[in-house]
Structure 1
Amino acid sequence: MFDCIIEGGELVDGTGSARVRADLGMSQGKILAIGDLSAAPASERVSAHGRIVAPGFIDVHTHDDRLLLTPTAGAHPKLSQGVTTVVSGNCGVSLAPLQTRHPPPPLDILGTDGWIYPSFAAYLDALEQSALAVNVACLVGHSTLRVKHMADLGRPATPDESAAMAAELASALAAGAIGLSTGLYYPPAKAATAEEVVAVGAQLKAAGGIVTMHIRDEGDAIDEALREALHIGRELGVDTVISHHKLVGTANHGRSVQTLAMLEQAARGQAVCFDCYPYNASSTMLLPSRVKQSSDVLVTWSQPEPGVAGRSLKDLARERNQTEEEVARALQPAGAIYFAMSEDDVGRILSHPMAMVGSDGLAHDVRPHPRLWGTFPRVLGHYVRQRKLFSLETAIYKMTGLSARRFGLAGRGILAPGNHADVVIFDEHRVTANASYEHPTEVSSGIDAVFVNGRLACRNGLSVNMDAGRVLRGKGNIRKTG
């Protein structure tokens, strides 16, 4: 007896293989069978005729650390677009291990009131005790470790400070963290050296962890920044993920041809890949230095002036008879969306065989980038159906099987008997990201149903079950869940 059979759909299994028409049977959170199950008994049957049945999407680049602990009514930004698993703690920023009331930028992208966890184990335990809408695998942020263990962030760590951070990371890996993330671009870690990162991450290899890197520069000095990141990955001897690979600034448009060639060359000698999002605008803390690189800047939040969220920095500067940089300084601390990328580069990067998909959405912005709600349907609707940059099977592989393999998420990302029953049913002819810069929280169309660990979690964009997710603890942890 199956708990549920999804019948009559076209299965795209997450390996990149061609679709097949088949039924899928689930029981006790696992996929039990795929094939003709028309005569099999089941407690429930769900029709997927005329629909695609795929593995639940894996969002490999999120800042959902606090969102995971926040009850969400109605639509959920991840479930509503078919995401069943997220990787949190990216860009050097993780909610633990740190207790503070005043997190420095960019740690404040996670808000200011959730920094209560003295250890990573305490944070993972809190996740397990919460109602999780999706599965989660957690990274430890290098910047978070620096803030906890260093009084002066404007210099490299001393050997003793590096050792303290390394010990904290080792403890987190033992508790179930899957790796370390860096954000060398941002103020809290800008002074860190490659040698510091290698010293802090010394236990990653033994624990089976990975390193994900928001590199030091994504503009004029991107070549040097990539070389540094690849050097760190080689020294650590672990899988290395380049975060949200992109080129910013008009002078750098088109250079993805060069950077992708660098990554291809590096991949011949080390384990490296990258994630990206399907938009030509980025979003992070509001930095005056980024203004000149961008054709426009939209404010996503501002602590001193909350009312400017959603406004163009150009318009604000014109109204105030100030430069955009002066306005940016006056609005801080704040967040922004930067229009500084080339659509040709976005398409080229997204199409590359090494590319995975990650939203990099900021859930606590007043007016977030639309990628928070629309990343995965945008890939399927805009880049597959409309632009035809690659096949549907390739797109799903980038969002499921490839991601699960690179991040070590065993039993997920592929539809196969014995694997966890994370499944999405969608209409390939109708799936569309409705979130826009003007209306960034609109729910996507065409996502019919989402199952998390075999339980129906979302139907037609609305959440119906908000506690089917699990904490996916890393290889270094003995007490694994998920």
Structure 2
Amino acid sequence: MTTRPAHDLVLRNARIYDGKGGAPYPGELAITGDRISAVGPAGTIPPGTGEREEDLGGLALAPGFIDAHTHDDRIVLDAPEMLPKISQGVTSVVVGNCGISLAPVTFTDNPPPPMNLLGDARAYAFASFADYAAAIARVVPAVNVAALIGHSALRLATMGDITRKASPNEIEAMQAHADEAMANGAIGLSTGLFYPTNAAADIDEVTRIAGRFAEHGGVYATHMRDEFEHVLDSIDETVTTATAAGIPLVISHHKCAGVSNWGRTLQTLPKIEAAASRHPVNVDVYPYAAGSTNLRADLVTDTYRIMIAWSRPHPEMQARDLIDIAAEWGVDIHEAARRLQPAGAIYFQMDEADVRRVMSSRLAMIGSDGLPHDHHPHPRLWGTFPRVIGHYARDEKLFPIEAAIHKMTSLPARVFRLAGRGSLAAGAFADLVVFDPETILDQATYDQPLRRSIGIGRVYVNGKLSFTAEGGVIGRAGRLIGGRNDG
């Protein structure tokens, strides 16, 4: 009688990064089904116990990266190969950030900014979160999806006039949506108080809605009301809200934007650290000194560079600087911006030293904040994770590679309550990335933002080989995760 091998696949001669921040070690790992069945130093797994065995030749083996901040809500359905992310070693994406989510709202006309960052009215086909969850299960994207529910989506689904605070009945309607979403696998709430669809909500409204998500074990991520002059006030508002709601907090893409605010992370980070000593608080950050969103009149200035990412009436102007467009048209930058609308832009509004300070914080997770529907996107969409490891950790020595990996694996898994994700341990899901620590690096630039990173050898999602450097995306095994989906 033939005995079946103990493991489906054994990966040997690996440089193990376990995701928890410890130094790498020579080791091996086994996969059975969608789980890690064994992992440890070389010699842990007996020879011949795998149906297949492969020698990684000393390459790094780490948990698949978790993108803590994305706007991939629609692209996981429309382009489920998810090449921009899986080619970076990303195996899970957190969608629904900044108050923007596909569910539970539909539109008959074009969605208002910033909802249009996810597409036109046809993109919004999900009146309930259950409908969105079913679409993910039907499509099977190449990466896992953890979904937040956007407060702007809730307001637009329940309010006729979003320029005011929600009434008690409207808040109850939003709470009912929260119940439905969390029952069907959502992981929490996001707000985008910076945006007009969300700006009229006060602490009371947000607290009552966040509190309902908290009752279901959710988390709260927020694009704060102000990341410019009033950033300290916004931190206070954010922490007050989360504490009153009894919900863990994530401050999205923490930054001090605008030239007059450069250097103020010396003030913001101690404030956030102090709050984190009293309440669960984390931040996410992308490794670039430029941000990107809709082209907004209140962000147009000549104090920093602005590049156009897309323009509906003038698509020929994408990838060009606003100041050059204005000069060509013989108008000032404000009139040029008006003529380009609706449009998106890349804003070079942060200081590199601030970006490094935020990334270095023990509270910081890595999130790309990429906008996959932009015609000329910010390079963070394709380059974030190899840039953190290759440029900042390896080359700049801002922190060790194992610390970088912690920020993109076990830390976001813990913060977003993604059970069984983010670490290399027996029984954990087999989301894995094999990479070369000596060569991993981003290639996407502001001028050529669609270039694939180098140094990622292969990626496994839920135990299935899904990407190789040579073959691209060769399988899709993603699923909705978090909430009531895993464990």
Calculate the TM-score normalised by the size of structure 2. 0.96
Map 1:81-160 onto structure 2 (within 5 A): 81-101=88-108, 102-112=110-120, 113-160=122-169
Deviations 1:199-218 (A, max 9, x none): 22231222000110000000
Query: Paired residue for 1:193?
Result: 202
Task: Give the count of matched residue pairs.
Answer: 477
The answer to whether 1:39 aligns with 2:39 is no
Q: Is the CA contact 2:418–2:482 (under 8 Å) kept in the aligned structure 1?
A: no
Query: Paired residue for 2:181?
Result: 172
Q: Secondary structure of the residue that 1:24 maps to in structure 2?
A: strand
Query: Paired residue for 2:451?
Result: 442
Q: Is the CA contact 2:35–2:427 (under 8 Å) kept in the aligned structure 1?
A: yes
Map 1:200-279 onto structure 2 (within 5 A): 200-279=209-288
- How far apart, in 1, do the equivalents of 2:302 and 2:215 lie? 41
The answer to whether 1:28 aligns with 2:36 is no
RMSD of aligned residue pairs (Cα, Å): 1.3
Q: Is the CA contact 2:17–2:402 (under 8 Å) kept in the aligned structure 1?
A: yes
State the Cα distance separating 1:308 from its structure 2 match.
Answer: 1.2
Q: Is the CA contact 2:418–2:486 (under 8 Å) kept in the aligned structure 1?
A: no
The answer to whether 1:451 aligns with 2:451 is no
Q: Is the CA contact 2:346–2:378 (under 8 Å) kept in the aligned structure 1?
A: yes
The answer to whether 1:382 aligns with 2:382 is no
Q: What are structure 2's unaligned runs of at least 5 residues?
A: none
Residue identity over aligned pairs, in percent, reads 45
Calculate the TM-score normalised by the size of structure 1. 0.97
- How far apart, in 2, do the equivalents of 1:195 and 1:330 lie? 38
- How far apart, in 1, do the equivalents of 2:21 and 2:358 lie? 18
Q: What are structure 1's unaligned runs of at least 5 residues?
A: none
Q: Is the CA contact 1:143–1:189 (under 8 Å) kept in the aligned structure 2?
A: yes
Query: Paired residue for 1:414?
Result: 423
State the Cα distance separating 1:463 from its structure 2 match.
Answer: 3.0
- How far apart, in 1, do the equivalents of 2:103 and 2:369 lie? 18
Q: Is the CA contact 1:3–1:42 (under 8 Å) kept in the aligned structure 2?
A: yes
The answer to whether 1:10 aligns with 2:15 is yes
Query: Paired residue for 2:308?
Result: 299
Query: Paired residue for 2:366?
Result: 357
Deviations 1:273-327 (A, max 9, x none): 1000000000001012112275111111111111211111011011111111111
- How far apart, in 1, do the equivalents of 2:302 and 2:158 lie? 34
Q: Secondary structure of the residue that 1:205 maps to in structure 2?
A: helix
State the Cα distance separating 1:25 from its structure 2 match.
Answer: 0.6
Deviations 1:209-261 (A, max 9, x none): 01100000001010111111111100110100000000111110000010000
Query: Paired residue for 2:83?
Result: 76
Structure 1 segments, 4+ long, off by >4 Å, are none
State the Cα distance separating 1:41 from its structure 2 match.
Answer: 2.8
Q: Secondary structure of the residue that 2:227 maps to in structure 1?
A: coil
